[in-house]
Homo-oligomer: A and B are copies of this chain.
């Protein structure tokens, strides 16, 4: 097919990251976009996690009343990059609440967007049909851009669809962080007094950045965060600052053994090769930051091992996976299931405001 026109760059040059500030929750979830962990106060977190725990319990009891909660509501999924886990988890959450899901039958990657339409128009199209939209997009701040345009749509159609960010590049992925923190509370009862150890590439790891910020916001008593990484892959200053503000003592080290024996929570990060500009940094992670059955043996008996999944060689070869999985301290599958319950709580709260 011959193309007469140069394909215009349809991305806006607008800097949405500085333009758009996500609204604080402050006890009122209904109708609010969920874009960042920074929207949540300590009290908001408690409300959300109480709702998550209640929904988990009712799901376990096969409570059919759950399907009343989002009945008549529609969620649209816009996944501009694949993320089976986030995608299926949100779908299952909405459906367990009795809501419905629409998505592009051929996948968004074959849709109009790839024929040159910009995000602003695509997200408003979804907004015309749906009550809530889950967006996954490779570009940082794309969820802010989408929220900005959905706010404008309200003038036209008299209602404002809610956006829930499902990951935008190395930017935010709030529901992942929320499910991580909920899992710690779910497993340990309380965050008070815990030593939480994050291990691996802490420079690029989106999940540990957001989790660290949330831990700071929850203001647990006597919490310590241990940051274990090669020197070149340390936790960014911005995250360290937030933990300092939250008065969380932080230990930085490149030697896991220094803190392993005291850690109640061990959060192992994914190694995402594509994020590394330097081979030396990648090699640094390869050498000594692989979880093994031997390593786990040295952890506390009451520790929990977390991982956001999917996992690769940072958890060793598949044979090691099987041995790690047998250990009752490995709770990453429970963590994954909790993702569904936290997303149920988010959907219930933003769509109906229930479970206050």
Contacts and interface: CB of A to CB of B under 8 A. Distances in A.
Contacts of A107: 105-107, 110
22 contacts: A2-B273, A5-B282, A8-B317, A64-B72, A74-B95, A74-B96, A79-B105, A84-B104, A84-B111, A84-B112, A84-B125, A85-B112, A85-B125, A88-B103, A88-B125, A88-B126, A91-B129, A105-B107, A106-B109, A121-B310, A128-B333, A128-B336
A54 interface: no
Category for how many chain A residues contact B: 35 or more
A91 B102 contact: yes
Contacts of A64: 71-72
Most buried by B among A77, A82, A273: A82
Interface string A312-356: 110001110100010000010110110110000000000000000
Contacts of A282: 4-5
B82 A318 contact: no
A315 B325 CA distance: 50
Interface in A117-148: 117-118, 120-122, 124-126, 128-130
Interface centre among A102, A110, A157, A312 (most CB of B within 10 A): A102
Contacts of A66: 72
A88 B102 contact: yes
Nearest to A134: B105
A312 B5 CA distance: 11
Contacts of A117: 310-312
Contacts of A298: none
Nearest to A60: B158
Contacts of A95: 74, 100, 102
A1 interface: yes
Q: Count this chain's copies in the assembly.
A: 3
Given A102-B91, A110-B107, A313 B279 contact: no
A79 B102 contact: no
A88 B129 contact: yes
Nearest to A79: B105
Contacts of A153: 333
A157 B101 CA distance: 25
A144 to B, nearest CB: 15
Interface string A175-211: 0000000000000000000000000000000000000
A153 B130 CA distance: 34
A105 B129 contact: no
Given A60-B158, A79-B106, A115-B310, A129 B71 contact: no
A232 interface: no
Given A105-B108, A116-B312, A129-B92, A84 B122 contact: yes
A87 interface: yes
Contact of A129 (B10, B111, B340): B340
Contacts of A319: 12
